[in-house]
Amino acid sequence: MLAAQNGHESTVGLLLDRGADVEARTLSGATPLLIALKRRRFGAAGVLLKAGADIGACDKDGWNALLTAASAGTESMVRELLDRGADIEVTNVAGETALSVAANDSVARVLERADCFQRWHRRAILALWRRACGWR
């Protein structure tokens, strides 16, 4: 946890190579990925993502990787998480989405485009299911 919190990428990698749990939790439910993102340690976050960190994992307040990255204001990490399949519609316990906590306009624009695409994709899949089942 401390290596992720302080952005020590090589130490994070070494610990993971030696069997550290990429999904370890703090008392508040935060994973190393959430801690790295909250502290804006994006290099360490990248190492954790490459090691298979769960982007859908939430802390006790419902903050996941996408919400945390959006609030940190980093467009590149938000894009990375979206490319890895992060769900833009997830809300924390306060009902906030990644778009509502976005720290700046560039992050908000990325999230708005992703939201449009995810909605279109869901409608397309639903249409295929309806057609396959003979529904109209």
Taken in order of first residue, the domains within the chain and their CATH numbers are 2-133 (1.25.40.20)
pLDDT in tens, 119-135: 656 666 667 767 778 77
For residue 87, which amino acid is it? D
pLDDT in tens, 95-111: 999 999 998 888 888 88
pTM of the model: 0.81
8 A C-beta contact, residue 39 and residue 73: no
In angstroms, rounded to a whole number, what is the distance separating the alpha carbons of residues 65 and 57?
A: 7
